[in-house]
Structure 1
Amino acid sequence: MDSDDLIIQSLKNGAELQQQEDDDKEAALAIAATILVGVELARQDRIENRQPRRLYLCRPQLLPNPRKDTPWQVLFATQNNRAFITTMGLDVETL
């Protein structure tokens, strides 16, 4: 009976150790995930704070072909008095 109790106790201890190791792994994964999320949020925050100070255009903000259909060319082609007066203060006939 003593050896049976010893075997049962040994199995219980092994199961408890395995459970503790699993819990430790889960805790480590949770900590790693929290750190990664924090790093990503900090990066996004830096990007958002950097944008207002940016005084230049990046490639996505530029025209695909600056020699074709620029905003000025489109405005000039319409010959719209209201648009000319709003942008330049001159009407079409003055130009």
Structure 2
Amino acid sequence: MYFEQNHNFEPGDVVYVLYRNPHAQDVAQVQEAAVVENPDQPGELSLFMYDTYYPLDEEIAVFPTEVEAMRAYNYHFGEDGNLYG
């Protein structure tokens, strides 16, 4: 998806991600997450949301602002949230 590679995320940053519900793949939303140090990989950063650590990599669409995340969400999923157009 999208990863803001030119942005230098630091522990404590609040970011916004496009998150698909793992139990209902037709449900997506913009979710706030925290950038934290990965407790299992010292020196690496992770995203923390829903009491879970996620890798901070190209597999998750990460945006520095909610406005940018909503713009991407609306572009990919439509303003009404319909994943299929």
Structure having the higher strand fraction is: 2
TM-score > 0.5 by shorter chain: no
Kindly indicate which of the two structures has a greater share of residues assigned to helix: 1
Please give the TM-score of this superposition, normalised by the length of structure 2: 0.19
TM-score normalised according to structure 1 size: 0.17
